[in-house]
Structure 1
Amino acid sequence: MKVIFTISLIILFLVGNNTYAQKRKFRPLIGTQHEKNSDVYGLSLGFYPTQSNYKNLNRTYGVRLEIFPLSFLYFLASKVPEIQEVNHKIYGINLSTGTFQGIDIYGISTTLFMNNIKHSNGISLAGLTNSIEKGNGIMIAFGGNGIKKGNGIMISGPYGGYSENFNGIQISFENYSTKINGIQIGLFNKTKNLKGIQIGLWNKNKKRTLPFINWNF
C-alpha cells in the first residue's frame, strides 16, 4: 500500500512539473519582457516596468533593452526598494533608461537614471543612482548608491553611499552604513557598527569620532 501511495505521489509530481514547464514560452533571438513566463535567448525588449508577481517569471539569456520615457521620475523612490517578488532574471547585460522592478541580474546592468532592483550580481552602473536590495560585485553611481545588503565595492557621487549591511569598500563624498566590515573612504564617514578603517575629513563610529582616520576591530 505504501509503495502504491509513493508511486502515485511521484506521478503527480512529474505531471505537475511537466504541466508547469509546458506553460513557459521559448523565444529565440528576440522577445519582450511583457509576455508572461517566457525565456528569451537573445534580445529582450521592455517598454515600461512590470509588477512583481510570483506566478510570472521571465528570463533573459543575452541582452535586455528597456526604454521607458518616465524613468527620470525614479528619483522619487526610497533609498532601498521595497520589492516583494522577482519576476525577471537576466543572465547577461541589462541596458535601460531606468530599471524599477523585481529583477535579478547576473552580469552587467547599466542605466541612464536609476537601477532600482532586487538583486545584482556583477557590475551595476547608474547615471543617477543604484538602489539595490542585495548587491554583490561593483556598484558605481554618478549620483549615489543605496544598498540594503552587499559585498564588494561601492563608488558613489555627491548623493553619497548608504548601506545597511556591507562587506568591502565604500567610497563617496559621504558614507553612511549601519554595519560595515571593511573600509570607508570619503569626506564624511559614519557607521554604527564598524570592523575596519574609516579615512576622511570626519569619521564617526560607535567607539569614537576622529578627523582623517578612524578604526575599530
Structure 2
Amino acid sequence: MRIFLLSLLMLAFLPTRAQHRPARFPLWTFHERNVRIYGISVGAYSLNENANTTTNGIRVEAPGAGLLLSLMPRAPWDTAHGTTPETFPEDKFPQQANGINISALGGVCYRVNGISIGGLTQINWRVNGISVSAMINACEVMNGIQYGTFNVCETANGIQLGMGVRTERLRGIQIGFMNASKNTRGVQIGLWNENEKRKLPLINWNFRS
C-alpha cells in the first residue's frame, strides 16, 4: 500500500515539475489556471482559452453553457466563414480532460481523451474516444464515436451517428437520416447521403481520391 501511494505521488509530482503546474486533488475547480487536477474538477462553464488546466479523472461543468452554444451560428474552427482556429502548443491546452467530461446542459473542452457527455450541446476541439449529446455535437477532430441529433465535424475518424451528420473529412462510417461529407474514405448509411462523388439514398461510399 505504501509503494502504491508513493508511486501515485511521484506520478503527480513529475509532470508538475516538468511543466511548472501544481497538482490538485481529489476535488478542485478547473477555473484555476495552470494546474493539473487528479480526481474531480468542477466549474460553471469553460470559455477561457488561457486556462491550461488538465483534469485526470472526472471533469464536471454545472450547469454548463449548453443553451448559449446552441445559438452559435457556426463552429469556432469554421475556416470556410473566415474563422482561423488558434494553434496551441502540445503541452498547453485551454482545457483538457483525461477520463470523463460531463455537463448537464453541455459545455466546451479543448481536448477529451475518454468519454464526453453534453446534455444539450457540446463543442470539443479534439475527442479521442466517445462523445454524446442530446442535440448538437460539434468537434473539430473526432477519433472514435460521435453521437448527437445533429453532428458537425471537421475531421471524423471513426463512426458518426445521428439524424443529421455532416463532416468535411470522413475516414469511417456515417449513419443517420441525412449524411454529408466533402472528402470521404468510407461508407454513408441513411435516407439521403452526399459525398464528393455522388448523392444517393440508403447507402453511399467512396474509397478513392
Instruction: Report if TM-score (shorter chain) is over 0.5.
Output: yes
- Give the aligned CA root-mean-square deviation in angstroms: 3.1
- Counterpart position of 1:75: 70
Tell me how far apart the structure 1 counterparts of residues 65 and 204 of structure 2 sit (CA, whole Å): 42
CA deviations on 1:15-68 (whole Å, 9 max, x unpaired) are xx98x84xx555454444444444444454435546332xx6444444444445
Tell me how far apart the structure 1 counterparts of residues 122 and 187 of structure 2 sit (CA, whole Å): 24
Q: Secondary structure at the match of 2:154?
A: strand
Q: How does 1:1-217 map to 2 (within 5 A)?
A: 21=20, 25=22, 27-47=24-44, 49=46, 51-53=48-50, 57-67=52-62, 72-77=67-72, 79-81=74-76, 84=86, 102-157=94-149, 160-217=150-207
- The alpha carbon displacement at 1:211 in A equals 0.8
Tell me how far apart the structure 1 counterparts of residues 47 and 139 of structure 2 sit (CA, whole Å): 22
- Counterpart position of 1:96: none
- Residues 206 and 109 from structure 1, CA distance in 2 versus in 1: closer, same or farther, beyond 3 angstroms? same
Tell me how far apart the structure 1 counterparts of residues 42 and 22 of structure 2 sit (CA, whole Å): 15
- The alpha carbon displacement at 1:172 in A equals 0.7
* Paired-residue identity, %: 36
- Residues 146 and 203 from structure 1, CA distance in 2 versus in 1: closer, same or farther, beyond 3 angstroms? same
TM superposition score normalised by structure 2: 0.71
Larger Rg: 1
- Residues 115 and 203 from structure 1, CA distance in 2 versus in 1: closer, same or farther, beyond 3 angstroms? same
- The alpha carbon displacement at 1:120 in A equals 1.1
Amino acid across the alignment from 2:173: I
Segments of structure 1 that go 5 or more residues without pairing to the other structure are 1-16, 90-100
Count of residues in Structure 1 that have an aligned counterpart in Structure 2: 182
Q: Secondary structure at the match of 1:76?
A: coil
Segments of structure 2 that go 5 or more residues without pairing to the other structure are 1-15, 78-84
Q: Secondary structure at the match of 1:145?
A: strand
CA contact (8 A) 2:25 2:38 kept: yes
CA deviations on 1:154-210 (whole Å, 9 max, x unpaired) are 1112xx111111111111101111110111111111111111111111111111111
CA contact (8 A) 2:170 2:185 kept: yes
Q: Secondary structure at the match of 1:73?
A: helix
TM superposition score normalised by structure 1: 0.69
Higher strand proportion? 1
Tell me how far apart the structure 2 counterparts of residues 155 and 70 of structure 1 sit (CA, whole Å): 19
